[in-house]
């Protein structure tokens, strides 16, 4: 093992899948395994074959993948009390998963042994020893997960240490100290990890939960105290408040502290993979997440934004590109004028801070922000606002009328249709389209009407559609903000629309999206 190497042990597909709202299909899991292998984590704990029949199908398939960097781990409990390991059906399921490595979890906390497992403290030590020995005899690599280790240590240090000793005696390849309840302070984790290191001559791992908001810090404290394996998940997914977030831990250890976690050349995959896993998990990506969130390198405050422009090291831990992320300088009423000026000067380079147009644009920006618009992340719509004020805008078309009809029961399995009439110069075009829902129908109808005049509209494709309810106290009459992301295969742009009516909000964002394309040409 190279110097300062810390083994990265990913449990997104096992402990991460315990998160509220996450449910991976077999295909999802296979896709994520491929990404994790490319990222270069050492272990992928991919499921619990004894608790979930879906996982057996998955293990069949995953073991057929050719992985470069990662080993697959199947996860399961130590044997039940008072039977042999080979008689335990769960142990057999775990063995049948066919992985070269297994993770076995056992109890460290005396109270849990007597009150939850309802067995004796001695029998629990036997369960740990026998199960590990059984898998070692089958030639497996064994990671022993000492569940509730820190709570167990607090309650009875002697017994907690005895469980680790049993694991070590049985030949465990590594022993992972689990802060299952997520309550331990980093300083306490560091202290206890040091004591374990002094007493057990095994590679020590750390597995933290985030209930106290310190899972990352606890993991890093353990590494500072000599742990050489970190268990965590992509984006910190996991039950309750989540597991230790590997997307935060990896850059901290590797870029700031000099440890080796993943290949250097994989580091720039971190942000794309974090977003990919959010997408597959169908969880809104946490834009405030360190390193991999959209806000991580965003600067809003006038003072800071100026300073960042002057010297990035003053306000940025690392160069965002290293982790595949990017810097954002955001507009807003407290942004001072520098971010807004950058946008204005993209449209007209002769405008200065003191031009009367600048004042007008900022006034308009404030009005629109008051209505619920937000241009952070929807710069293409803001560019159109600026063009309109600077008279650098000629409407490409004019809406005469549209009508959207939703029918239930649906007609011919299509339940929405839209009629649209537009005017371009002195010509009008009226057309209609059907769709999967009213916005889809309206989008299709608008583009159909425009293509006659602007054939390049055929090149664009909507790639994302987001709805945000702004004011949920008014329930179905709430204001909504719609963000639409569009691509023409070359560029990607985002536009925004706000209204109490989702159709109208979508319409505004659609129009901006189309106009951005036409202005671009």
Q: In the range 242-281, which residues lie near its own copies by CB under 8 A?
A: 242, 245, 248-249, 252, 256-257, 279
Find the shortest distance in angstroms from Cβ 169 to its own copies: 26
- Per-residue binding string, its own copies, 226-245, x by CB under 8 A, is ----------x--xxxx--x
**One residue of 65, 89, 100, 284 binding its own copies per CB under 8 A:** 284
CA distance 400 to 397: 9
* For its own copies, the closer CB: 37 or 286: 286
* For its own copies, the closer CB: 344 or 404: 404
Residues 32-71 that bind its own copies (CB under 8 A): 51-52, 54
* For its own copies, the closer CB: 14 or 140: 14
Find the shortest distance in angstroms from Cβ 4 to its own copies: 16
Residues 93-112 that bind its own copies (CB under 8 A): 112
Residue 16 interacts with its own copies (CB under 8 A)?
A: no
**One residue of 10, 88, 379, 443 binding its own copies per CB under 8 A:** 443
CA distance 379 to 496: 9
Residue 115 interacts with its own copies (CB under 8 A)?
A: yes
* For its own copies, the closer CB: 25 or 120: 25
**Residue 352: HSE in the Cβ half-sphere, 13 Å Cα cutoff:** 2
Q: What's the chain's length in residues?
A: 521
Residue 17 interacts with its own copies (CB under 8 A)?
A: yes
Residue 471 interacts with its own copies (CB under 8 A)?
A: yes
Residues 404-423 that bind its own copies (CB under 8 A): 404-409, 415-416
CA distance 230 to 233: 10
Q: Look up tokens 């369960």; give the residue.
A: 127
| Count of positions on this chain that bind its own copies (CB under 8 A) | 123
**One residue of 32, 507, 511, 516 binding its own copies per CB under 8 A:** 507
Residue 29 interacts with its own copies (CB under 8 A)?
A: no
The torsion angles phi and psi of 125, rounded to 5 degrees, stand at -65, -40
Residue 208 interacts with its own copies (CB under 8 A)?
A: no
Question: Which of 248, 245, 266, 265 shows the shortest CA–CA distance to 257?
Answer: 248
Please, are residues 108 and 78 in contact by the beta-carbon 8 Å criterion?
no
152-156 contacts at long range (C-beta below 8 A, 24 or more positions apart): 152/107, 152/108, 152/109, 152/110, 152/112, 153/108, 153/192, 155/109, 155/110, 155/111, 156/109, 156/110
Residue 326 interacts with its own copies (CB under 8 A)?
A: no
Residues 346-375 that bind its own copies (CB under 8 A): 369, 374
Find the shortest distance in angstroms from Cβ 271 to its own copies: 13
Residues 166-195 that bind its own copies (CB under 8 A): 180-183, 185-187, 190
User: How many other C-beta atoms lie within 10 A of the C-beta of residue 515?
Assistant: 21
Task: Return all residues near 225 (Cβ < 8 A) that are at least 6 apart.
Answer: 189, 190, 191, 193, 194, 197
Please calculate the CA angle 188-193-194 and round it to the nearest 5 degrees: 100
CA distance 214 to 306: 32
Please, are residues 452 and 422 in contact by the beta-carbon 8 Å criterion?
no
CA distance 253 to 5: 10
Find the shortest distance in angstroms from Cβ 304 to its own copies: 7
CA distance 498 to 504: 8
Of 84-92, 119-127, 264-272, 479-487: span binding its own copies (CB under 8 A): 479-487
* For its own copies, the closer CB: 44 or 483: 483
Please, are residues 369 and 394 in contact by the beta-carbon 8 Å criterion?
no
Find the shortest distance in angstroms from Cβ 445 to its own copies: 11
Find the shortest distance in angstroms from Cβ 2 to its own copies: 22
Find the shortest distance in angstroms from Cβ 220 to its own copies: 7
Please, are residues 90 and 76 in contact by the beta-carbon 8 Å criterion?
yes
Residue 21 interacts with its own copies (CB under 8 A)?
A: yes
- Per-residue binding string, its own copies, 286-315, x by CB under 8 A, is xxxxx--xxxxxxxxxxxx--x--xx--xx
């Amino acid at each position: 093992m190279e110097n300062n190497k810390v083994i990265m042990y990913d449990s997104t597909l096992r402990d991460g899948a315990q998160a509220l709202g996450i449910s991976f299909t077999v295909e999802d899991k296979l896709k994520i395994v491929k990404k994790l292998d490319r990222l270069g984590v050492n272990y992928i704990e991919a499921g619990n074959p004894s608790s979930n029949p879906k996982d057996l199908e998955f293990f069949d398939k995953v073991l057929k993948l050719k992985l470069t960097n990662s080993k697959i781990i199947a996860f399961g409990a130590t044997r039940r009390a008072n039977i042999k390991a080979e008689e335990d059906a769960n142990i057999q399921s775990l063995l049948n998963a066919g992985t070269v490595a297994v993770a076995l979890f056992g109890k460290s906390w005396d109270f849990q042994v007597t009150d939850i497992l309802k067995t004796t403290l001695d029998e629990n030590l036997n369960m740990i020893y026998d199960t590990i020995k059984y898998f070692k005899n089958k030639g497996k690599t064994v990671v022993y997960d000492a569940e509730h280790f820190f709570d167990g240590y607090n309650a009875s240090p002697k017994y907690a240490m005895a469980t680790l000793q049993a694991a070590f005696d049985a030949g465990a390849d590594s022993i992972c100290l689990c802060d299952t309840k997520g309550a331990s302070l980093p300083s306490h984790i560091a202290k206890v990890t040091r004591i374990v290191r002094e007493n057990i001559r095994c590679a020590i791992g750390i597995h933290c939960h985030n209930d106290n908001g310190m899972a990352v810090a606890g993991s890093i404290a353990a590494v500072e105290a000599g742990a050489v394996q970190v268990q965590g998940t992509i984006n910190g997914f996991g039950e309750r408040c989540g597991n230790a977030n590997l997307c935060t831990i990896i850059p901290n250890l590797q870029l700031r502290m000099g440890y080796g976690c993943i290949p250097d050349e994989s580091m720039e995959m971190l942000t794309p993979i974090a977003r990919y896993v959010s997408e597959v998990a169908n969880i809104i990506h946490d834009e405030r997440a360190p390193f991999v969130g959209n806000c991580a390198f965003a600067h809003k405050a006038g003072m800071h934004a100026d300073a960042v422009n002057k010297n990035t090291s003053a306000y940025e831990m690392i160069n965002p590109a290293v982790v595949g992320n990017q810097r954002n300088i955001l507009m807003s009423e407290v942004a001072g004028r520098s971010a807004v000026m950058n946008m204005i000067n993209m449209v007209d380079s002769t405008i200065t801070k003191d031009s009367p147009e600048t004042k007008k644009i900022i006034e308009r920006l404030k009005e629109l922000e008051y209505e619920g618009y937000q241009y952070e992340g929807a710069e293409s719509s803001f560019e159109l606002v600026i063009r309109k004020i600077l008279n650098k805008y000629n409407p490409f078309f004019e809406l005469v009328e549209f009508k959207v009809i939703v029918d239930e029961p649906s007609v011919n399995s299509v339940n929405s249709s839209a009629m649209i009439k537009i005017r371009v110069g002195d010509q009008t075009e009226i057309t209609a389209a059907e769709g999967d829902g009213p916005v889809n129908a309206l989008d299709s109808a608008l583009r159909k009407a425009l293509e006659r005049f602007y054939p390049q509209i055929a090149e664009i494709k909507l790639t994302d559609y987001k709805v945000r309810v702004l004011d949920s106290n008014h329930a179905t009459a709430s204001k909504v903000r719609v963000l639409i992301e569009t691509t023409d295969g070359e560029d990607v742009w985002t536009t925004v629309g706000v209204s109490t009516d989702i159709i109208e909000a979508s319409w505004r964002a659609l129009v901006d999206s189309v106009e951005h394309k036409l202005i671009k040409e």
